[in-house]
Amino acid sequence: MRLHVIGLGGAGGRIADRLAADHDGDPFLAGVNGFDTDMDALSALNALGEERRYRFGDAAGGDGLGGDLHAGRRLGDAHASELGREMDDQRPSTAEAFLIITGLGGAAGAGAAPALAEELSRLYDTPVYAFGLLPTASETEEEDDDPRSAASGGSAGSPSEAATETPHRPLAERNAARTLEALSEGCAAVFPFDNAAWLRPGETLGGARDRLNGIAADRIAALFGAGEAPEGTATPQQVLDASDVARAVGSDGEVAAIGHATQPVDSPEQGSRFGLGLFGSSEPAEVDIGAAVSAIETVIRKAARGKNTVEVPGGRADRTLLIVGGPPEWLNREAIADGRRWLAEETGSDAILSGDAPVPDGDAVSAVVVRSGVDEPERIREIRETIR
């Protein structure tokens, strides 16, 4: 599907920038913009040129908003139409969906996201999704209790040592709770990304920033890029399109989780110890059925039971989407069908939507599992309780 990505605020801008760096030119990426009130954060973006990034909110004076979500909401209401116009050069009318990426605990991005979602929904008859980064509990701790909190804002791309520390944002959890509520009302679905769950032992949020941005960008590309292949490449047997994603995640602002896994395999062009490429035949080497079945079963289970963008309590979901990709010769139909049946039992979903994503000359089999209508993850419940 053709996706237009908007990075709002520092965190959202960095992930949008990473998507542009890794996937500019890929068919699924219809457009990318970075919007912020902070000029320094925008200037730190590398892949998004000046024509794709824009500072809004002169009232902020070119700086961030210091965690003031109400100020961010006021700026969003005042500038949503302006931001919509800034996207026009990339022909947003050709997009099949919009994805707003933002740090939920911030002020500029989180504050403006609901108003921009409403503006895009008003202008275009396409779904608007949100990908929101959940704050870590350590961000709200008192500075005296957490010596890592010396960095007050953690500006993206700052050359100072503070850029690798955990930012101190006492309002982050409350901001996130209010922003989640607003985005659930204004977006078709919300994809939270739980930063804390992805941190390694002893790792700070600032120090992990680049790695976490890469993980988030990879998950977004794995899902939304699955239905778009370069012209002239293999056609999927089960074509995935924008309507499949929309049916899987729903339209009522529910939380959705993305699981993703890959497993290296031999390219048929390299020949295989199981294949027929040992005697100089011009035909591609055949893939052993047992090896293909094992690879597909493994990646589906890893995508479902491995670390998702957010916790899925009990693995349960109302709706589930399965996408299996890799070299066409490895996409064994029977194995994929078995994987769908296993996933239906694992999630309790009445029906499993699915598609495949052939990658000619690829060297890995992959699976994406998207679950929507999940029980409330513990981290989101903790965040919501901060305003109850």
> Three-state SS for 311?
coil
Tell me how many degrees the CA angle 43-49-55 measures, rounded to the nearest 5.
50
Rounded distance between C-alpha atoms, residue 175 and residue 65, angstroms: 12
Rounded distance between C-alpha atoms, residue 215 and residue 198, angstroms: 9
Rounded distance between C-alpha atoms, residue 250 and residue 100, angstroms: 17
Rounded distance between C-alpha atoms, residue 13 and residue 4, angstroms: 13
Helices then strands, each counted (H, E), the chain? 11, 10
Length of the chain: 388
State which amino acid sits at residue 343: L
DSSP string, 222-254: HHHTTT---TTSPPPSS---HHHHHHHH-SS-E
CA 279 to each of CA 267, 304, 329: distance values in angstroms, whole numbers, following the listed order: 17, 40, 19
Q: How far is CA 184 from the centre of its chain?
A: 16
List binding-site positions for GTP: 139, 195, 213
List binding-site positions: 139, 195, 213
> Which residue matches tokens 């769908």?
340
